[in-house]
Structure 1
Amino acid sequence: MDALHTAGIRFAEALQSGPPWLEKFWISVTSLADPKCIFTVCFPLAYFLDRKVGVSVLWIGLVSEWLNVVLKWFLFGERPFWWVHESGLASKEPVALRQFPVSCETGPGSPSGHCMITGAALWPLVTALTTLASRHSRSLAAKLSPFGAYALLLLAVGLSRVFVLAHFPHQVVGGILAGAALGWGLQARTPVTRAPGFFVTAALALLLSSLALHSLVIAAGIDVDWSIRLATKWCSDRAWLRLDTRPFASVCRDAGTALGLGLAAGFPLHRGERLDPRQRVAGAALALGAVQGLHRLLQPVDATLWYGTSFLKYAAGPWLVASLLPRLVLSLAHPRGSPHTE
């Protein structure tokens, strides 16, 4: 593994030695592909494009993130920004590497969550766009363009993660392959949106199983916090260490989101309540603004309260997008309560 890690460090050096303008590009890509964006950006937009696609994006996103956490607990992947020091490579050979505010991830590094979760969650959206393109064009290039954009996006995300020293190349490749496989496999297995009991049960299962696995790993004598200590030790600026990069933050996000889907399923729109194209655009803009505003609210400093608040925010998001805001758009369009049917 040392040879693989060393090759990854040299590849990261080559990326960082590129044109200065590329630095902002790579940092922008890695920020935009943060798994949180699946929950706060992709889901609201996809839901108002097509309800089923939106729920599929969110469901696959939360399942793949939970699986990513479990894999990281058991694969013990190193991260470049600390391995280069812990291995002694930086003291033996000249290494020209820089850290960035997005470098200091505190969880284990394998596989890449950015690649795995983004790749899995976007699969149903890309499939839907491919189907739409096939209906309106006979051109093979037009039909393949959504998957071409998908592949280029994942390539850019992977390179950006290596650039900021968050992952080694083999972790990125593993994340991309796992994400595409999960997206393909789970797309047809998205639960129906009118099953609130299923989503509530899923939320409890995700949370309790994570706590149980965490306890079993500790009972087996495995140090589950090893990556947090190394990240804290070797991060260039402690202000760059964020609670939302810890594995349990992902678990809270996933369990909260599953509960939110249950809340939305418990208060569905009636069959006659449909949004026309203009209302969908208005709903998407309103949902995006509401969810972004929700997640910009200040978080408590205390870790326990932080996790609890994060859980509640992610539970509120799907309910806002899939239940409250569509009703609000319909009520504004038809203030006298006359439902609009397409």
Structure 2
Amino acid sequence: MDALHSAGVLFAAALQSGPPWLGRFWLWVTALADPRCIFTLCFPLAYFLDRQVGVSVLWVGLLAEWLNVVLKWFLFGERPFWWVHESGLAGKGLLRLRQFPASCETGPGSPSGHCMITGAALWPLVTALRALAARRCRSRVVTLIPLATYTLLLLAVGLSRVFILAHFPHQVVSGILAGAALGWGLQAHTPVAHTPSFFAAAALALLLSSLALHSLAVATGIDIDWSIRLATKWCSDPAWLRRDTRPFASVCRDTGSALGLGLLAGFPLPRGERLGPRQRVASAVLALVALQALHRLPQPADATLWYGCSFAKYAAGPWLVASLLPRLVLALSRPRGTPHAE
């Protein structure tokens, strides 16, 4: 593996030697593909394009992220920003490598979560856009545009992750392949019409299975927190270490979102109420603003409270997007009754 890691670091050094504008582009791409954006950006946009597609994006995304956490626990993937120091390669003075605020992720590195989760969650949206293009236009080239855009986006995300020293190229490739396979396999099994109890049971199952796997690893002598110590040791700036990059932060996000889908199923819009095109746009804009405001609320310093607040925020998200805000838009857009003539 050392030879593979060394080749990956050399590739990262070549990317970092590019022009400054290209470096800024890679930083923008890696921020855009943050797994949190699936829950706060892609889900509301997809939901107001098509309800089933939106639910599928969120469902596939949370399952992909949970599986990514499990794989990282047991594959022990190194990250370049600490490996170059642990291996002694940085001390030889042959490479000039930079870290960035997004570099210092604390979980293991294999496979790439940005590539795997983004690739899985966006697959239902790509499929829906291809079907829409096929209905509107008979040109084969037009129907291939969504798939080509999806492929180019994942390649850009992968390069951006190598650029910031968050992943080695082989971790990026495995993440892309795993994400595309999960998206293709899971999109047809989205539980759109299930009851709230199904999603509550799914949230509980994800949480308990995560705790069970963590306990099993600890019981067998596996050092489950090794990556957190290495990230803390070799991150250039301690302020760049964020709790939301830890594996249990992902578990809270996934279980909270699964419960949020249950709230969505339990509080649908009243029968006969449908959003028109303008109302969909207004609801989507309100949803994006509301989710950004929700997730910018300060988090408590205590770890237990932090994870609890994170869970609550992601549980509230789908309800805000699919129930509360559309009701508000419908209420505001209803014509006011004319006064009775005397």
Both proteins in one fold, TM over 0.5: yes
Preserved CA contact (<8 Å) 1:260 1:315:
yes
- Counterparts of 2:315 and 2:291 in 1: how far apart (Å)? 11
Q: Which residue of 2 aligns with 1:60?
A: 60
Deviates more, 1:118-127 or 1:86-95: 86-95
- Counterparts of 1:207 and 1:278 in 2: how far apart (Å)? 39
After TM superposition, give the deviation of residue 192 of structure 1 in Å: 2.2
After TM superposition, give the deviation of residue 130 of structure 1 in Å: 0.6
Q: Does 1:330 align with 2:302?
A: no
Matches within 5 A, 1:173-322: 173-322=173-322
CA deviation profile, 1:204-240 (whole Å, cap 9, x unmatched): 1111110111111000001000000000000000000
Amino acid at match of 1:62: L
After TM superposition, give the deviation of residue 75 of structure 1 in Å: 0.2
Deviates more, 1:265-274 or 1:218-227: 265-274
Amino acid at match of 2:276: D
Preserved CA contact (<8 Å) 1:194 1:266:
no
- Counterparts of 2:91 and 2:101 in 1: how far apart (Å)? 23
CA deviation profile, 1:28-72 (whole Å, cap 9, x unmatched): 100010000000000011101100000000000000000000000
Deviates more, 1:225-234 or 1:186-195: 186-195
Q: Which residue of 2 aligns with 1:128?
A: 128
- Counterparts of 1:29 and 1:83 in 2: how far apart (Å)? 23
Preserved CA contact (<8 Å) 2:106 2:246:
yes
Identical aligned residues as a percent: 80
Deviates more, 1:111-120 or 1:272-281: 272-281
Q: Which runs of 5+ in 1 are unaligned?
A: 338-342
- Counterparts of 1:224 and 1:95 in 2: how far apart (Å)? 30
After TM superposition, give the deviation of residue 21 of structure 1 in Å: 0.9
- Counterparts of 1:85 and 1:198 in 2: how far apart (Å)? 47
CA deviation profile, 1:191-214 (whole Å, cap 9, x unmatched): 024411110001111111101111
Q: Which residue of 1 aligns with 2:48?
A: 48
- Counterparts of 1:11 and 1:138 in 2: how far apart (Å)? 41
After TM superposition, give the deviation of residue 167 of structure 1 in Å: 0.1
After TM superposition, give the deviation of residue 91 of structure 1 in Å: 2.2
- Counterparts of 1:304 and 1:176 in 2: how far apart (Å)? 33
Superposition misfits of 4+ residues, deviation over 4 angstroms: none
CA deviation profile, 1:117-167 (whole Å, cap 9, x unmatched): 000000000111111111111111111000000000000000000000000
Q: Secondary structure at the residue paired with 1:162?
A: helix
Preserved CA contact (<8 Å) 1:103 1:166:
yes
Q: Which runs of 5+ in 2 are unaligned?
A: 338-342
Q: Secondary structure at the residue paired with 1:122?
A: helix
RMSD: 1.1
Q: Secondary structure at the residue paired with 1:18?
A: coil
After TM superposition, give the deviation of residue 302 of structure 1 in Å: 1.4
Q: How many residues align?
A: 337
After TM superposition, give the deviation of residue 324 of structure 1 in Å: 1.0
